[in-house]
């Protein structure tokens, strides 16, 4: 009896199984948008109803010229087809009176100015470390991790605070290695279960254990800052998410040079004054930091306990509301 057709069918089955096993997030890859010619710009744009936006990136997205824009008053970002907008080059000096420029370049002594370690230019919580007004601002870091997303934590948060706003600082390697988790987050956002703002957290999140902070993270020699910033933005856009105007430095570590380089790319550095496992309890205006990437379960347990006990300042507010 000839078993060749059966053997061929078996071989085909296992070949397909191997392909599916080694290609993560096939669903996300099939759904990815085609993005080319991604570059920084600074444009003042006016829409069909007279609305104003500042464009900070331009690209070709699925064959159309598109701008990543920020509302200079609310700090909301959006992807806009340039065909229906009138855009021109602008400067920071022209936009200096907008809320966006005030958040981007806070005056010396402002609470938004980064805290610097004594006698050095190294920031110990680079960027906006405390928000304006009552309540608090929940942020979660998704650094590269072998562990799965802690979905139970986020489900519990949504159960206790339906539609809770959360700013997720996401690294590019986390997106690439956790396609199913990213799809789940996108579904939660689409349903309104969580209100997610996507914060860049670098592509590779460089880190060497026991290396001094001043030579670590994005301060390591040879780090390509543009690649670290733009690659994660591209990944988000390709997967139908919109990057926010915020960026969180890995380790919350930067120096004055790195802060200025970030500002030149028109991103607001996001710090934190309530990294729960390292800081005092949150207070009104605190920017709370936890890690739902599986690497910091103690911080998630502490957050859940404080939330259930009513000891976290509420309401939780969107990160766009934090700067003065």
Domain boundaries, the chain: 35-89, 106-321
Going residue by residue through the chain (324 aa), what tens digit of pLDDT does each one get? Answer: 444 445 454 444 444 443 333 344 434 444 689 999 999 999 999 999 999 999 999 999 999 999 999 999 999 999 999 999 999 999 999 999 999 999 999 976 554 444 444 334 676 678 999 999 999 999 999 999 999 999 999 999 999 999 999 999 999 999 999 999 999 999 999 999 999 999 999 999 999 999 999 999 999 999 999 999 999 999 999 999 999 999 999 999 999 999 999 999 999 999 999 999 888 889 999 999 999 999 999 999 999 999 999 999 999 999 999 999
Instruction: State the fold for domain 106-321.
Output: TIM Barrel (3.20.20)
Q: What is the pLDDT of residue 279?
A: 85
Q: H/E/C letters for each residue in the chain?
A: CCCHHHHHHHHHHHHHHHHHHHCCCHHHHHHCCCEEEEEEEEEEEECCCCCEEEEEEEEEECCEEEEEEECCCCCCEEEEEHHHCEEEECCCCCCCCCHHHHHHCCCCCCCCCCEECCCCCEEEECCECECCCCCEEEEEEECCCCCCCCHHHHHHHHHHCCCEEEEEEECHHHHHHCHHHHHHHHHHHHHCCEEEEEEECCCCCCCCCCCCHHHCHHHCCCCCHHHHHHHHHHHHHHCCCCEEEEECCHHHCEEHHHHHHHHHCCCEEECCCEECCCCCCCCCCEEEEECCCCCCHHHHHHHHHHHHCCCCCCCECCHHHCCC
């Amino acid at each position: 009896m000839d078993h060749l057709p059966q053997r061929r069918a078996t071989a085909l089955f296992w070949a397909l199984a191997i392909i599916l096993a080694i290609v993560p997030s096939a669903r996300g890859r099939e759904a990815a948008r085609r993005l080319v010619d991604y570059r920084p710009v600074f444009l003042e744009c006016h829409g069909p109803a007279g609305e104003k936006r500042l464009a900070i990136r331009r690209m070709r997205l699925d064959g159309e010229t598109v701008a990543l824009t920020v509302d200079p008053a609310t700090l909301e970002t959006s992807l806009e087809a340039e065909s229906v907008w009138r855009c021109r080059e602008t400067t920071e000096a022209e936009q200096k009176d907008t809320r966006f420029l005030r958040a981007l370049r806070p005056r010396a002594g402002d609470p938004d100015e980064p805290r610097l370690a004594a006698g050095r230019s190294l920031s110990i919580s680079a960027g906006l470390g405390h928000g304006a007004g009552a309540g608090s601002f929940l942020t979660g870091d998704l650094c590269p991790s072998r562990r799965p997303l802690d979905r139970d934590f986020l489900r519990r948060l949504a159960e206790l605070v339906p539609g809770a706003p959360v700013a997720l600082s996401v690294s590019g390697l986390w997106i690439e290695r956790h396609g199913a988790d990213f799809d789940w987050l996108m579904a939660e956002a689409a349903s309104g279960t969580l209100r997610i703002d996507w914060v860049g957290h670098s592509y590779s999140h460089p880190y060497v254990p026991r290396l001094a902070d001043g030579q670590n993270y994005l301060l390591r020699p040879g780090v390509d800052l543009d690649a670290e910033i733009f690659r994660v933005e591209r990944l988000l856009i390709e997967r139908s998410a919109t990057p926010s105007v915020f960026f969180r430095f890995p380790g919350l570590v930067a120096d004055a040079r790195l802060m200025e380089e970030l500002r030149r790319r028109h991103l607001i550095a996001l710090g934190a004054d309530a990294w729960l496992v390292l800081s005092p309890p949150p207070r009104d205006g605190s920017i709370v930091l936890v890690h739902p990437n599986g690497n910091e379960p103690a911080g998630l347990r502490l957050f859940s306990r404080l939330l259930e006990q009513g000891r976290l300042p509420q309401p939780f507010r969107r990160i766009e509301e934090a700067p003065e």
